[in-house]
Amino acid sequence: MNYLKITIEFFIIFFFVYIIYYFFVVRKCKKNENHVPMEVGLILSIHNIDPKKINLYQMVKVVSLITVIVLSIVITMVSESFNNFYLAILIGSIMSILIALVSYRIIGNHYERKCQENTKIENSKKKKSK
């Protein structure tokens, strides 16, 4: 019965955080292509990804989904595990940062490979047209 309570709590947190994140971050990126979230800008700069060679809006949606999942998992775990508010904030912050960094590294590696593939395809098309 406790697992059901935790699962329901996770999905409620996920739903509310995703709605907030969508309205304040994803919609702004859809309306203005120059406005990208800080997480996406960090991934692009660390992995030297050219935003013109990938679908940037798709990347924003993927990063936002991963961010919301990370936040929901951490909030659910911390709220169920710790009774001390300050300890919960400290542990939750550390967990959020670590899980997010690992997740962003995986996303960055994926999009870096995608960018390299698109570059190879463009180069082969240029060679064929000559």
> pTM for this structure?
0.83
The CA–CA distances, whole Å, from 71 to 31, 50, 99 equal 25, 28, 9
Using CA atoms, how far apart are residues 67 and 70, in angstroms rounded to an integer?
Answer: 5
> Based on the structure, what is the number of domains in the chain?
1
128, part of any domain: no
Q: Dihedral of the CA atoms 4, 6, 8, 9 (nearest 10)?
A: 160
50, part of any domain: yes
Q: For residues 1 and 12, which has the higher predicted lDDT (pLDDT)? A: 12
52, part of any domain: yes
130, part of any domain: no
Angle at alpha carbon of residue 51, lines to 45 and 56, rounded to 5°: 110
60, part of any domain: yes
107-127 tens-digit pLDDT: 999 999 988 888 877 777 777
5-57 tens-digit pLDDT: 999 999 999 999 999 998 888 888 877 777 888 888 899 999 988 888 888 88
What pLDDT score does 130 carry? Answer: 61
What pLDDT score does 97 carry? Answer: 93
33, part of any domain: yes
The dihedrals phi and psi of 52, each to the nearest 5 degrees, come to -75, -20
- The whole domain housing 46 covers 2-123
25 Cβ contact list (under 8 Å, min separation 6): 37, 60, 64
- Percentage with pLDDT > 70 across the chain: 97
52-111 tens-digit pLDDT: 888 888 899 999 999 999 999 999 999 888 888 899 999 999 999 999 999 999 999 999
What pLDDT score does 73 carry? Answer: 93
Cβ atoms of residues 39 and 63 within 8 Å: yes
